[in-house]
């Protein structure tokens, strides 16, 4: 059983050398009397929040990884052995799983059966999984958009951003996004229906860029990036605008997450700024799944993925994600079936 191991906590950019791939022996047998399940992992989900788990920060909302142990995260797997009456061999499931070929899920805890026919299996860690749910609750529960409002989304083409923009379009908003390459900007405008988008790496002054693309100001911001981008957003918000702080990916390599230097804008423009975690809204998952499946079936929403093959590519995929090399939701296929 190959496993991706975190060597030790670190600050600064993620490097290959922060991890190792270790091969261990896993006996494919279950403990008698347990309700354990053994799964074969098919898709892993490198996600930005995982970076914060590599800093040993015990004050976070999620515990740090344990050095010397495999990473874990959201995944799609296939049941190979089960002592649990709710799961049978051959079932496809999502779970909190190890970055490894096979995982033992104690008591089958957290496993959820998924349908392999309606949508591609990888969607369960993307548009139908945590990133999709984040887009949905961040937009509808936190920002509560009204038709005709202007929304700005940073990291707009990623796993979360691409859905925020498309859901916002369906809700009748004017949608502006930024991303880190021309390819991503084209995707936003041509495939995802954004009204305007720009490559922030080509802009020397983010605030001026926002003024250009949102000349009347921003009503709503779905903030994924933080740092300088958030400062530019604060400069461009309309009075009484609302900001949902979803993430601050530009800050995750740092020891502490730095705030914006112009926070007084919150006062002068009377803004509402709310951080949120998708995990606070889990009761809304059934309605989210129902709506998203319908949108996908009706092709009202498209979902772009960036697939890397093999467990050995997982660390590279994670590094790529944090550098913006991913185009769409980054996933890693560990096995085909």
What minimum distance in Å lies between the beta carbon of 133 and ligand NDP?
A: 8
Contact region with ligand NDP (CB under 6 A), list: 73-81, 213-221, 245-253, 310-318:
245-253
Q: Does 131 help bind ligand NDP (rule: CB under 6 A)? A: yes
Pairwise CA distance, residues 140 & 172, whole Å: 13
Which of 160, 175, 185, 209 binds ligand NDP (CB under 6 A)? It is: 160
Listed residue (137, 164, 174) closest to 277, CA to CA: 137
Residues 6+ apart with CB under 8 A from 53: 60, 62, 63, 64, 65
Asked if residue 82 binds ligand NDP (CB under 6 A), the reply is no
Decide whether 104 or 142 has the Cβ nearer to ligand NDP: 142
122 binds ligand NDP (CB under 6 A): no
The reply to whether 246 sits near ligand NDP by the rule CB under 6 A is yes
The least CB distance from residue 6 to ligand NDP, in Å, is 18
Assess 103 for contact with ligand NDP (CB under 6 A): no
- The site string for ligand NDP over 251-280 (x = CB under 6 A, - otherwise) reads -------------------------xxx--
The values of phi and psi at residue 94, to 5°, are -105, 155
What's the CA dihedral at 223, 295, 305, 19 to 10 degrees?
A: 60
Size of the site for ligand NDP (CB under 6 A): 31
Separation of alpha carbons 309 and 20, rounded Å: 17
d(CA 78, CA 58): 32
84 SS3 class:
coil
Q: Which is nearer to ligand NDP, 37 or 304 (CB)?
A: 304
What is the nearest approach in angstroms of ligand NDP to the Cβ of residue 112?
18
Residue 180 makes contact with ligand NDP by CB under 6 A: yes
Q: Cα separation of 157 and 170, whole Å?
A: 17
Dihedral-angle region of residue 226 (phi above 0 means left; psi in -120 to 50 means alpha; beta otherwise): left
Q: Which stretch binds ligand NDP (CB under 6 A): 96-104, 116-124, 244-252, 257-265?
A: 244-252
Segment interacting with ligand NDP, rule: CB under 6 A, options 111-119, 142-150, 259-267, 320-328 = 320-328
Give the DSSP H/E element, type plus range, for residue 104: strand 102-105
243 binds ligand NDP (CB under 6 A): no
Site for ligand NDP in 32-61 (CB under 6 A): 47-49
For tokens 């992992």, name the residue: 41
CA distances from 13 to 7, 70, 131, 157, 224 (A): 15, 20, 23, 22, 18
Helix (H) or strand (E) holding 228, with range, is helix 227-236
Positions of E strands within 258-328: 272-275, 305-309
Which of 132, 158, 165, 241 touches ligand NDP (CB under 6 A)?
158
Among 132, 250, 296, 301, the residue binding ligand NDP under the rule CB under 6 A is: 250
Where does this chain bind ligand NDP (CB under 6 A)? 47-49, 130-131, 134, 155, 158-161, 179-181, 184, 224-225, 246-250, 276-278, 321-322, 324, 326, 329-330
């Amino acid at each position: 059983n190959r496993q991706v191991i975190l060597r030790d906590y670190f600050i600064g950019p993620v490097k290959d050398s922060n991890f190792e791939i270790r091969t261990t022996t896993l006996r494919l047998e279950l403990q008698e009397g347990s309700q354990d399940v053994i799964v074969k992992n098919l898709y892993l989900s490198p996600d930005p929040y995982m970076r914060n788990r590599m800093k040993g920060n015990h004050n976070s909302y999620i515990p740090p990884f344990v050095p010397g142990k495999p990473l874990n995260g959201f995944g799609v797997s296939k049941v190979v052995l089960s002592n649990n009456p709710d799961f049978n061999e051959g079932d496809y499931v999502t779970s909190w799983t190890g970055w490894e070929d096979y995982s033992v899920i104690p008591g089958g805890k957290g496993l959820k059966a998924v349908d392999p026919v309606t949508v591609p299996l990888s969607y369960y860690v993307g548009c139908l999984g945590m990133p999709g749910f984040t887009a949905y609750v961040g937009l509808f529960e936190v920002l509560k958009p009204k038709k005709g409002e202007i929304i700005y989304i940073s990291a707009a083409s990623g796993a979360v951003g691409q859905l925020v923009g498309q859901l916002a379009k369906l809700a009748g908003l004017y949608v502006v996004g930024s991303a880190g390459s021309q390819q991503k900007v084209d995707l936003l405008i041509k495939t995802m229906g954004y009204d305007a988008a720009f490559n922030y790496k080509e802009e020397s002054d983010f605030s001026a860029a926002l003024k250009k693309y949102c000349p009347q100001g921003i009503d709503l911001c779905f903030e994924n990036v933080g740092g300088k981008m958030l400062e530019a957003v604060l400069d461009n918000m309309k009075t009484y605008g609302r900001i949902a702080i979803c993430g601050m990916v530009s800050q995750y390599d740092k020891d502490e997450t730095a705030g914006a230097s112009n926070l007084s804008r919150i006062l002068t423009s009377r803004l509402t700024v709310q951080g949120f975690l998708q995990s606070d809204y889990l009761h809304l998952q059934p309605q989210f799944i129902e709506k998203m499946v319908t949108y996908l079936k009706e092709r009202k929403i498209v979902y772009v993925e960036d697939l890397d093959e093999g467990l050995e590519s997982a660390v590279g995929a994670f590094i790529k994600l944090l550098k913006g090399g991913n185009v769409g939701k980054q996933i890693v296929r560990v096995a085909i079936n």
